[in-house]
Amino acid sequence: LAKTTQPISMDSYEGQEVNITCSHNNIATNDYITWYQQFPSQGPRFIIQGYKTKVTNEVASLFIPADRKSSTLSLPRVSLSDTAVYYCLVGDNMGRRALTFGSGTRLQVQP
Amino acid sequence: DVKVTQSSRYLVKRTGEKVFLECVQDMDHENMFWYRQDPGLGLRLIYFSYDVKMKEKGDIPEGYSVSREKKERFSLILESASTNQTSMYLCASSSQGPYEQYFGPGTRLTVT
Per-residue pLDDT tens digits for A9-58: 999 999 999 999 999 998 888 888 999 999 988 899 999 999 999 999 99
- pLDDT for A102 beyond 80: no
Q: What is the mean pLDDT of residues B57-86?
A: 96
- Please answer yes or no on whether B56 and A98 come within 8 Å at the CB atom: yes
pLDDT exceeds 70 at position A1: no
Cβ distance A66 to A52 under 8 Å? yes
Per-residue confidence (pLDDT) for residue B99, from 0 to 100: 66
* pLDDT in the model for residue A106: 95
Please report whether residue A20 resides in a domain: yes
Does A91 contact B44 at a Cβ distance shorter than 8 Å? no
- The per-residue pLDDT for A2 is 62
Chain A residue at shortest CA distance from B50: A96
d(CA A49, CA A47): 7
Average pLDDT, chain B: 92
Nearest-CA residue of chain B relative to A43?
A: B103
The residue ranking higher by pLDDT, A63 or A3, is A63
Report pLDDT for B43: 86
- Residues from chain A that touch B41, judged by Cβ atoms under 8 A, are 103
Domain ranges of chain B: 4-111
Size of interface A-B (CB pairs under 8 A): 65
* Total structural domains within chain A: 1
More confident residue, A1 or A76: A76
Nearest-CA distance from A47 to chain B in Å? 9
Average pLDDT, integer, range B4-33: 95
The chain B residue lying nearest A95, using CA atoms, is B97
- Which of B101, B107, B108 to mutate to test binding with chain A, by most A CBs within 10 Å of its CB? B101
The Cα–Cα gap between B70 and B7 comes to: 16
Residues of chain A with C-beta less than 8 angstroms from the C-beta of B49: none
B87 φ, ψ (degrees, to nearest 5)? -175, 175
8 A C-beta contact, residue A30 and residue A93? yes
Residue A9: closest CA among chain B residues belongs to which residue?
A: B40
Question: What is residue B98's predicted lDDT score, i.e. its pLDDT?
Answer: 56
Instruction: State residue A40's pLDDT score.
Output: 87
- pLDDT of B28 strictly over 70: yes
What are the tens digits of pLDDT across the range B29-46? 989 999 999 987 888 899
Query: A68-96 pLDDT, tens per residue?
Result: 999 999 999 999 999 999 999 888 765 55
* Residue A54 forms part of a structural domain: yes
| Distance to chain B for A66, nearest Cα, Å | 22
Decide if A1 is inside a domain: no
Cite the beta strand spans of chain B per DSSP E: 4-6, 10-13, 19-25, 31-38, 42-49, 56-57, 64-70, 73-78, 87-94, 102-103, 107-111
In chain B, the percentage of residues whose pLDDT exceeds 90 is 74
Of 3.40.50.10490, 2.40.37.10, 2.30.30.40, 2.60.40.10, the CATH number of B4-111 is 2.60.40.10
Domain membership flag for residue A55: yes
- Residues in chain A with CB shorter than 8 Å from the CB of B90 are 43-44
The whole-angstrom distance between B18's CA and the closest CA on chain A is 25
Residue A46: domain span: 9-110
Of residues B44 and A64, more confidence is placed in A64
Residue A4 belongs to a domain? no
pLDDT on residue B32:
92
